Amino acid sequence: MFTTELSDNWDSLLYSICVSSEKLIGYTSFKISDEPLMYEMYQNYPGSNDRVVRLMSDDGRLDFYQNGAPLNFEKIDMYKNRRKIQRISKDLLFNYAENLGVSIFDNDIYITSGVSLEIKEGWSSGS
């Protein structure tokens, strides 16, 4: 489980770890933000096509984007709504996470006895 805030761009670290690993590592990420508006599910697994579904605000306009084969639990009829704002919601993404076995609201998923990566931000003055 890798959690981060959308604004800090640490999700790019997850991507870099997965693509540079000697092991074939795949992942699914969710980006959920109301300001700026960003609702996204992105799935990357070696040997398969990436899947992305996204609704975002771009210079005040809503942009809906999808690419790759839909996953079996996706509610693809929602993506046909005339109003883009009705195509994806936070609740829909929470439902997708549940279908992948991740209960976002269960605090126990954020606790692990396994190996963890802790990153402490800081700068050395070099002296």
**15: which 2 tokens?**
């991507």
pLDDT at residue 119 in the model: 54
Nearest to 52 by CA among 37, 41, 36, 39: 41
* pLDDT one-digit tens code per residue, 88-123: 999 999 999 999 888 877 767 666 666 655 555 555
- In DSSP notation, 91-119 reads HHHHHHHHHTT--TT-GGGG--SS-----
pLDDT per 10-residue tile (average), the chain, 127 residues: 60 70 74 87 82 92 95 96 95 92 73 60 55
Cβ-contact 62, 70 below 8 angstroms: no
Tally of CB atoms within 10 A around 52? 14
Identify whether 46 is preceded by a cis peptide bond (ω within 30 of 0): no
DSSP 84: G
pTM of the shown model? 0.73
Amino acid occupying residue 51 = R
